[in-house]
Amino acid sequence: MVVPGKRSCRPQFTAMRVRGSGMIKFDQTKATYDALFLQGGFEGTYDLPYRHSSYFPLFRRVLKQVLDSGAKSILEVGCGTGGFAHYLMETTPVAYRGFDFSDVAVGKARERTGRAEAFFVGDATVPETYSGQSPDCIVCTEVLEHIESDLEAISHWRPGTFCVCSVPNFDADTHVRFFGLEEEVLSRYGQMIEIKDIARINKPELSDISLRSTLRALRWNRYRPRRLLRILGVGSFESMGGWFMFSGTRKG
């Protein structure tokens, strides 16, 4: 995750190119993401305990959607370092499998959860990755914006499968797209998923949202009222940055 308005922790040894916006962009390769996951992402977000991660508000909403759907098994497309997987495994009986095309991410997910058999390396755009997989639900959060062929990836999801996905409303150096309105999300993904719900989820100001980290940040910023409000979560979706979480059934 790259925090809007902040300088990212840039991976080393990766090719870069400049897109039309002028923002420096990283090529979408295994080397790029292996380096990013090896470094732990911005301020070590990818390696934090899941409840301390700025992704936790998203994880909670996604898991609620999974449970409300009645799913007994899920496949996570783009598991990263296993934060959501760890949360699900510790709090529910739902059967889990997940994959990522970064060997480093999969290694960290296995180490985090102690469940090596639950994770494998795979490419979301390749049909063979889904061979033998028949989950009740597919979870795909903060992945589609990184894939040039995002619709091709979705085309490999089994029709009738319930899907919970998220995409950001902000640009970053590893994003190939982002979305400003719900209508844009529906326009791109509604042709393949019968989208029933799109929710806005604000992203926390802090990378580490643990109580200790939050109290420290409040103390350090006590004379910066605007920053204090952001740390407390007071701000619009547009100003704070966040995720569009959408769910529905994969069309036939």
- Could you tell me if residue 225 is inside a domain? no
Phi-psi region of 8 (alpha: psi -120 to 50; beta: other; left: phi over 0): beta
* Token pair 């290694």 in the structure block, residue: 107
- Could you tell me if residue 218 is inside a domain? no
pLDDT tens per residue, the chain (252 residues)? 333 333 333 333 333 443 445 678 888 888 999 999 999 998 999 999 999 999 999 999 999 999 999 999 999 999 999 999 999 999 999 999 999 999 999 999 999 999 999 999 999 999 999 999 999 999 999 999 999 999 999 999 999 999 999 999 999 989 999 999 999 999 999 999 999 999 999 999 999 999 999 999 999 999 999 999 999 999 999 999 999 999 999 999
* 40-to-1, 35, 45, 174, 182 alpha-carbon distances in Å: 10, 9, 6, 15, 30
- Could you tell me if residue 159 is inside a domain? yes
**Structurally, how many domains does the chain consist of?**
1
> How high is the pLDDT of residue 22?
62
- Could you tell me if residue 214 is inside a domain? no
What is the residue range of 165's domain?
20-170+177-208+242-250
pTM here? 0.89
Q: Report how far residue 40's alpha carbon sits from residue 47's, in angstroms, rounded to the nearest whole number.
A: 6
**Residue 81 sits in a domain of what CATH number?**
3.40.50.150
> How high is the pLDDT of residue 26?
82
Q: Which residues pair with 139 in a beta bridge?
A: 76, 164
- Could you tell me if residue 224 is inside a domain? no
